[in-house]
Amino acid sequence: MSTVSDYFGSLVFDDRVMRANLPADVYASLRKTIDEGRELDISVANAVAQAMKDWAVAHGATHFTHWFQPLTGITAEKHDSFISPSPDGSVIMEFSGKELIKGEPDASSFPSGGLRATFEARGYTAWDPTSYAFIKGKSLCIPTAFCSYGGPALDKKTPLLRSMEVLSKEALRILRLFGNESAKRVVSSVGPEQEYFLITREMYEKRPDLRFTGRTLFGSKPPKGQELDDHYFGVIKPGVEAFMADLNDELWKLGILAKTEHNEVAPAQHELAPIYTTTNIATDHNQLTMEIMQKVAARHGLVCLLHEKPFAGVNGSGKHNNWSIATDGGQNLLSPGATPYENAQFLLFLCAVIKAVDDYQDLLRLSVATAGNDHRLGANEAPPAVISIFLGDELNAVLEAIENDAPYAGTKKTQMKLGVDVLPKFNRDTTDRNRTSPFAFTGNKFEFRMLGSSNSIACANIMLNAAVAESLRIYADRLEKAEDFETALHEMIKKTIKDHKRIIFNGNGYDDAWIREATEERGLLNYRTTADCMPHLLDEKNVKMLTSLGVFTIEEMRSRRDIMLENYCKSVVIEANTMVDMARTQISPAIEAFAADTAKSVAAKKAIAPELGCRHETGLVRTLTGLIDEIADRTDELEAALLKVRDAEDIVEESALIRDNLLQLMGELRVPCDKAEQLTARSYWPYPTYSDLLFGVK
């Protein structure tokens, strides 16, 4: 019987496979490309392509594809076979370095936000050698970037790689100031925790709202939800356990470091957490994880729901983005260290993050903005839409002591001038975790908790990498010119704490009092919806920072603003149209049928025994009749609002109409429908209920 270590990464063309199958000089050249960003020679590419093809064919692959991440938020792939015709009528299996390095998918049918006209079809995919190729089904998948004919990025990976590069560049400038000459690169790493729901395929197929939108648009609260907290970390049901075991096998074969699995808070909700890895690889792995979750669920007669809020009244699903930065030598730059100088370096990087999060709250908020995530943020199950940083009591006290040039109470009574007097060695986990914080320090990393479960993690990490790189660039510009490095360092850290301490909050992020304090006293931003935050992508300060660092061009930023708002509008409009259809064609007729049959029963009883008042049944018929009328009125209003949305002159106006009008009308239609569900006999109701959906998996 094979063990996990026997087959882990067996479908990945990873370093082990490359070392075993490539000539030594080719392997060494490729490693320099991967590790140092050296340009790839075509002769090396040809040798790699040959070895990659031979390995893939030996594992049953017949095709190859450039696997990329367009602005749809999911992955894309076009499959070509390895076969080439032979003069004798047979075929040979070929794959060249040119085919490895570059592909040409049609760029006209992917979202471009105006970067490409419909008739301009040419686009390019370019191999990302830092993310290993893998086999999926019968195809060799080659992770790539995707750009248009003119060069602008049409994907999520290209700006992510740019952000990683500029973060490395600016972090190295800081490390050189601290005497570190050995580090060649600084790498951001991520471990994204993934929440999801599992329901039965049978129930899913009977719910048009789930099939069309990924969430239930109607449904009354079940008798039991998450009130008893008995699902969280509870015993995993056999059907779910079988799914998880199968999922782990599939992920491990692809080299995905799936580590932790457990039941989450809501019934039918679960979580998978991986070990952290380099950010672009973690992004690839998370996209694969979501895809494979859905495929494996189908094999088990289940459906994996990745929507942020598939059920009202119970917790939705997020994706915690555990982010850190380290040198290529393995030094975690967010780990405090044991010596004063290490502490000083740590505090400077910590301050860079604090400054970045405060200066670019809007970018972090919009990086997680989707129609689905708008239902979750601030709903006492996720962080609020207001961004703040949790540091914990000990670290917060250190920063206060530095700001005030005061003794730190946790160590000897000495003034804390960095790099001169002894700073405390910070121990990990000296304070409780704060699950209400959007951005929490957890010992040697930050946990960005605002991402939605269906989100690509690329967007959040692009903005986080870029914002921190900007802080480091400002620090390096000043410190490189300083006459007295240690004094300048101390003053810079002190100034950062003073200027940006408003973003630090260690209390309950769910408390309404905090939201008032944050917005009214501290001046923090509170963008509750996608329509609120997305236009701010093009604010002057954001354009200046992202373009000057080379993460985006202004054209790429405009396109992404429009694409994200368009996705938001289309998602909500699909939901509204689905509600109209469900209410008119199935919910209202079901209520009418039950009301009519109840009325007939009342009439029959009165005919037999006139003295029977049938008070309850008569009242029920009246109530149901009133609900039928209310549903009809609300449906008409929603349909009229949809027509107004279609007449909007631009995408910003359309998103505002949806936020201010359409969503409210959708909520108003749901109320009578859910009330009617509670009054209508189950045999008449056209859809599986929340009880069926949340407790259907055995």
Q: What is the pLDDT of residue 416?
A: 45
Rounded distance between C-alpha atoms, residue 210 and residue 400, angstroms: 50
The structure tokens 């799914």 sit at 243
Q: What is the rounded distance in angstroms from the CA atom of residue 370 to the CA atom of residue 549?
A: 26
**pLDDT band for position 2 (cuts 50, 70, 90):** confident
Closest CA to 473 of 173, 132, 49: 173
The continuous run of DSSP H or E covering 302 comes out as strand 302-305
Comparison of pLDDT for 450 and 37, the residue scoring more: 450
Token pair for 658: 């949806």
Q: Looking at this protein, which amino acid is placed at residue 104?
A: E
Say which DSSP state 683 is in: T
Query: In whole numbers, what is the pLDDT of the chain averaged over residues?
Result: 90
pLDDT value at residue 124: 83
Across 81-90, 131-140, 207-216, 448-457, least confident range: 81-90
Residue 57: the pLDDT is 94
Q: Return the structure tokens found at 141.
A: 């998948």
The whole-angstrom separation of Cα 26 and Cα 33 is 11
| Strands (E) located in 457-614 | none
Domains of the chain, CATH where assigned: 4-155 (3.10.20.70), 164-193+319-549 (no CATH), 567-694 (1.20.120.1560)
Has residue 423 got a pLDDT over 50?
Answer: no
Q: How far is CA 224 from CA 221, 227, 266, 316, in A?
A: 8, 7, 11, 16
Per DSSP, helices labelled H in 214-360 are 238-253, 279-299, 340-359
Query: Would you say residue 593 has pLDDT above 90?
Result: yes
Confidence band of 422 (pLDDT split at 50, 70, 90): very low
Sign for the CA dihedral angle at 500, 504, 510, 516 comes to negative
> Residues with Cβ < 8 Å from 594, sequence gap 6 or more?
624, 680, 681, 684
| Mean pLDDT of all residues in 111-122 | 60
This prediction has a pTM of: 0.92
The DSSP H or E segment spanning 448 is strand 446-448
Q: What is the pLDDT of residue 38?
A: 79
Answer yes or no: is pLDDT of 170 > 70. yes
Cα separation, 469 vs 165, in Å, equals 9
| C-alpha 213 chain-centroid distance | 18
- DSSP code for 536: G
Residue 111 has pLDDT above 90, yes or no: no
Comparing CA positions, the residue from 675, 660, 663, 659 lying closest to residue 638 is 663
Strand partners, 136: 139
